[in-house]
Amino acid sequence: MKHYTVTGIIAALWGVTGLILLLGFAVWRLGGNMLEALQMPLNWVHWLVFAVFLIFMAYSEGYKGFQKKFSPRFAARARYLSQGATPVLLVLAPLFCMGYFGATKKRIIATFALTAMIVVFILSFQFVPQPWRGLLDAGVVVGLIWGMISTVLFCLKAFTDEKFHCDPELSDTLR
C-alpha cells in the first residue's frame, strides 16, 4: 500500500508541471517556426523531408525516447517523491524527476549527455534557413507533444495502478 505525504504530492505535482511547462514552452517556440514554414511555397522535396522527418521524430523521440524510456522512469520518480520529499527535492522536483540528480551514475551521465546533444541541435538548427528549419521543427514538435502526453499518462498510471512498476533508477543513497 502506498503512503503519500502532502509534501510528497506537492513535489510530484511540481515535477510533472515543471516538465510540461518546459516541453510546452519548446512546442510553443518551435511551433512558430513550423507554422511560418508551412505558409511558404513548398515543393515536393520540402514535403518529402517534412513527412519523413515527422515520422522519424514521432518514432525515435516520441515512441522510443519518451514512451518507452523517459516517461515511465519519470513517472516512477514522481511516485517516489509522492511518498515523501525533502525540501530540496520539493524545490528541484522537475530536475529530480528528469534524472539530473538522485539517480544512478549511469542515468545522470546519460541525462547530461542527452541534454548536451539537445543544446547542440538547438544551436545548430538556428543556422538552418526557412522553410527547412520549420519543417524539421515540426518533427520535434510532434515528438515533444507525444512526450508530454505519454508522460502524463504514465504518471496517471503510476498513481492509480498498483501493478505499475518501472525502475526509477535511484541512487543508492535514496533507496
Could you give the number of structural domains in the chain? Answer: 1
> Which pTM does this prediction carry?
0.94
Q: Please say whether the beta carbons of 123 and 135 come within 8 A.
A: no
Taking only the tens place, the pLDDT of each residue in 116-138 is 999 999 999 999 999 999 999 99
Tell me the pLDDT tens digit for each residue of 47-81: 999 999 999 999 999 999 999 999 999 999 999 99
Q: Is residue 90 part of a domain?
A: yes
Res 175 pLDDT > 80: no
What is the pLDDT at residue 172? 87
**175 found inside a domain:** no
List the domain range (segments joined by +) for residue 20.
6-160
For residue 31, pLDDT beyond 80? yes
- Is there a domain that residue 20 lies in? yes
Residue 168 within a domain = no
Answer whether residue 51 is part of any domain. Answer: yes
Give me the pLDDT at residue 128, please. Answer: 96
Contact between 148 and 24 under an 8 Å Cβ cutoff? The reply is yes
Q: What value does the mean pLDDT of the chain take?
A: 95
In the predicted model, is pLDDT for residue 1 greater than 70? Answer: no
Kindly state whether residue 174 falls inside one of the protein's structural domains.
no
Classify residue 172: in a domain, yes or no.
Answer: no
pLDDT value at residue 95: 98
* Residue 166 maps to a domain: no
Task: Calculate what percentage of the chain has a pLDDT beyond 70.
Answer: 99
Who's near 148: CB < 8 A, 6+ residues apart?
19, 20, 23, 24, 27
Report d(CA 10, CA 142) in Å as an integer: 29
